[in-house]
Amino acid sequence: MQITVIGAACIDIIAKSKDKIDADISNPADINLRAGGEARNIASMLARRGAEVSLITAAGDDALGALLRASCREIGINTDAWIIKNSANTCVSLTAMDSDGTPSVKMNAMTAPESIKAGDITKHKNLIINADLLIIDLNITEKALLAALEIRGEKPVLIDTVSPEKAHRISDYLEHVDIIKLNREQAESLSGISLDTKERVKQACFNLVNRGAGRVFITLGMAGACAADKNNAIFVPAHPVAVKDVIGAGDAFATGLALSMTKDLRAQAQQAVQFAHDHLKRFE
C-alpha cells in the first residue's frame, strides 16, 4: 500500500516530572528528545506496519532538521519531497508532563509547514497521484491544501484537523474528504455545535457528513470515539488503560483509520480506538 502524508514534522522535547509538578521549584524529570509532528508520527506508524510511505513536509536547514530527516529515513519513510528552508527553523514542540503522564504545559514553534507553497505540492504531484491514500494534516496552508486536493483525483483522502483554529481550513472542501478525524474541540469548532451530550456529538458528525465528508470520526478521550457516515452514527468505547504517553495518541488513531480503509464503519472505528489505546500504554 502506497501512502503519501503531507503536514508537520518536528522535534518533540518531552519532560516527564518524577513527582507532581510544583511551579515554585525546579522539578526533577526524565527528559527525552524524539521525532514528532502529526504527519511524521502517522508516517512513522504506517511505515513500521509495512506501508510504503512518502512524507511531504518542511524543515529548516539546521541540525534539528537533519536529525529529523535522518530518523525518518532510518524507518523507511521516503523524504525526497522534503522542502528545506534556509530562512526557517525546524519545528519544535515542548511538553511538560506530570508524573502520571498528563500534559501540564505545551508550547510549540510550528511555522515551517506554513511555508509550504502550492507550487511545492505541485512539484511532487506524482507522489499524490500514485498513492493509494493521501493523508493531510492541517498544519499546511489552505492554498497548499487545495493544491493537494486538486491533484489527488479520485484517490481517497484522510484529513487530520490538528487544532480548533486550523480545522476551518477544510471547511469549504469537505466534499473532497473521504475520512476526517477530529477531537472534541476541533469538531465543535468546525461544526459550530457544542458537544456536551452524546446526541450533540452525533449532530456534529452528521453536520460534517451533510456538508460532504464521507466518514467522520470524533475522538472523545477515555470515552472512546463517535463514527458516522451518511447512514449511521455509532459510539465505540475505549478500554481502561494506565496512561504512560498521551502524545501522539490522536496520530495513532489516524493510523488505525488509514490501515482499515476497506472495513465497515464500526470495524474501522474499533481498530482506530485500539491503536490509540495501545499507544497510550507506552512512553518512548
Q: Which tens digit of pLDDT belongs to each residue from 73-108?
A: 999 999 999 999 887 789 999 989 888 877 788 888
- Which residue ranges make up each domain of the chain? 1-135, 156-284
pTM for this predicted structure: 0.91
- CATH architecture label of 1-135: 3-Layer(aba) Sandwich (3.40)
Cβ burial, residue 280 (10 Å; 0-12/13-18/19+)? buried
| 156-284: CATH architecture | 3-Layer(aba) Sandwich (3.40)
Q: 14-28, 64-78, 201-215: which range is least confident on average?
A: 14-28
Q: How far apart are CA 269 and CA 254, in angstroms?
A: 10
Question: Poorest-confidence range of 49-58, 64-73, 83-92?
Answer: 83-92
Q: Give the three-state DSSP class for 233.
A: strand
Measured from the Cβ of residue 6, the count of other Cβ atoms closer than 10 Å reads 29
For 88-109, the DSSP string reads SPPEEEEEEE-TTS-EEEEEEE
For residue 265, the number of C-alpha atoms closer than 13 Å in the C-beta half-sphere is 19
pLDDT(282) > 90: no
Mean pLDDT of 187-216: 97
- Ranges of H-type helices in 116-219: 118-123, 125-129, 142-151, 184-191, 198-210
Please indicate whether the domains covering 1-135 and 156-284 agree at the CATH topology level.
Answer: yes
Angle between helices 198-210 and 184-191 (to 10 degrees): 50
Of the candidates 91, 29, 24, the one whose C-alpha atom is nearest the C-alpha of residue 57 is 91
Residue 125: all three cell numbers together: 504531484
pLDDT tens-digit readout, 114-137: 999 999 999 999 999 999 999 999
Give the pLDDT of residue 284: 37
Distance CA 118, CA 147 (A): 5
